[in-house]
Amino acid sequence: MAPRATCASEVPSRLEVAKSPVHLKTPPIRVNMDAHMTLTRTSWAWILAGIACFLALTGADAEEISAARRSAVVRAVERVQPSVVSIRVVHREPVILQYQDLNRRFFFGPRYAGERDRTSGGSGFIIDGNRIITNAHVLGPRNPVRIEATMTDGRVLTVTGGLVDRMLDLAVLEVESQDLPVAPLGSSDDILVGEWAIAIGNPFDLGTTVSIGVISALDRDFEEPQGNYHYRDMIQTDAAINHGNSGGPLVNALGEVIGINSFIIPGGGERGHDFGSIGIGFAIPIDAAQRFLDEIQTHGRVRVPWHGIIDLQNLTSRLAQYLDLDSTDGALIHQIAVDSPAYMADLTRGDVILAINGETVHSSDEARGILTQLRVSETCTIDISRSGKPRLVTFRVEERPRAGSRLE
């Protein structure tokens, strides 16, 4: 069978097929503008609602954060800080020069080269319209030439007078200004170990400074190495207290003054250098300070109590055995003033004090500390041992006489 002939016009070539244009008809897209606008408005509404919710939540968080920042500590500081003052004390002291040449120093001795002012400082707080309370040691051992108290708002108060009780390490300063902000006084009778403690003062003359810690312990007793101050029932805190904090308030979380910051046990280096606070500071209980203030309010002066027991010493094992005592607890009376209240109550040298006003005495330091806290007109009851036999002695504390007393 013969092949079928094809005609070129009947079967187009591939080239011709490729060159043939292809026309695709796309149906027109019809957009509903009303629906589009409705969708757009709805989207923006949701977006704006989300932004509004975000801002509302952010504002609520900001309010909560702001409220959290104003903690009890912040409120307590705001309540007390306006009444805190920085105290500047100026003393005048002689200038003594020494010859460098040893021969001249031996024959001529020191040279007097005039006087100079020496400045020291501390802290205090206002207790009524024109009085400030602070530590006695802030004022120094001698009468100062000038005392100034600077308030937190920058006002400088000139001190015109004051009263000091160096045994209690307390002083009250009188100033000329009136209507000053007063620190609210609390009570040291219900302090809890572990509660917040806020120290406010003027450390290192930096100006009013706040530090925070807790009440570490209560009823700590100390005697200053030179015997000038006897501290009883002290409050221990780990709030940072440094040089210049003395006399400033120790405050609780309610914004009440519960103590007067007085001293620290400092850290020391190899050569005994003072490194400042290591978290062991002590404050005089405000109740003890209140008794001091009541004494001034009632009598217009500081009446120095007088019992007549001058010197005490600890008991050794041999001494306790000699006195027919079972232990070394107690304090031996070594010196007593003749015609003093204790002497007139039949206390004598060689008696051993076992307890004072019901408080057991373990050492001479404890006995001195308790006797220091006695006030004029207060009744004192002492349990003693004399020749191994117990006795009870009672006397009334008197005001210290101006003239000296003869010792037994």
Tens of pLDDT along 289-322? 998 898 888 888 888 888 989 889 998 888 888 8
- Name the catalytic one among 137, 230, 243, 307: 137
The 3-state DSSP class for residue 67 equals helix
| DSSP bridge partners of 352 | 332, 385
Is there a catalytic annotation at residue 123? no
Contact 210, 200 (CB under 8 A): yes
Written as one letter, the residue type at 364 is S
- Name the catalytic one among 165, 169, 238, 351: 169
Do 196-299 and 79-175 fall under one CATH topology? yes
CATH code reported for the domain at 196-299:
2.40.10.10
Helices (H), 20-154: 33-69, 72-80, 102-108
- Which pLDDT score is estimated for 269? 46
- Which pLDDT score is estimated for 8? 43
Per residue in 375-388, is it b (16+ CB within 10 Å) or e — as a string? Answer: ebeeebebbbbbee
- Which pLDDT score is estimated for 216? 95
The pLDDT of residue 34 is above 60? no
Token pair listed for 296: 């001034």
Is there a catalytic annotation at residue 246? yes
> 305-399: what CATH class?
mainly beta
- Name the catalytic one among 246, 277, 340, 385: 246
Is there a catalytic annotation at residue 307? no
The pLDDT of residue 2 is above 50? no
- Which pLDDT score is estimated for 406? 46
The pLDDT of residue 257 is above 60? yes
The pLDDT of residue 357 is above 50? yes
CATH assignment of 79-175, given 1.10.10.10, 2.40.10.10, 2.60.40.10, 2.40.50.180? 2.40.10.10
Query: What would the mean pLDDT of 228-242 be, rounded to a whole number?
Result: 86
Break the chain into its structural domains and give their ranges. 79-175, 196-299, 305-399
Rama region for 10: left / alpha / beta (φ>0; ψ in -120 to 50; rest): alpha
Query: What would the mean pLDDT of 177-197 be, rounded to a whole number?
Result: 90
Query: What would the mean pLDDT of 94-122 be, rounded to a whole number?
Result: 73
Higher pLDDT, 4 or 173: 173
Tens of pLDDT along 368-399? 888 888 888 899 999 999 888 899 999 999 98
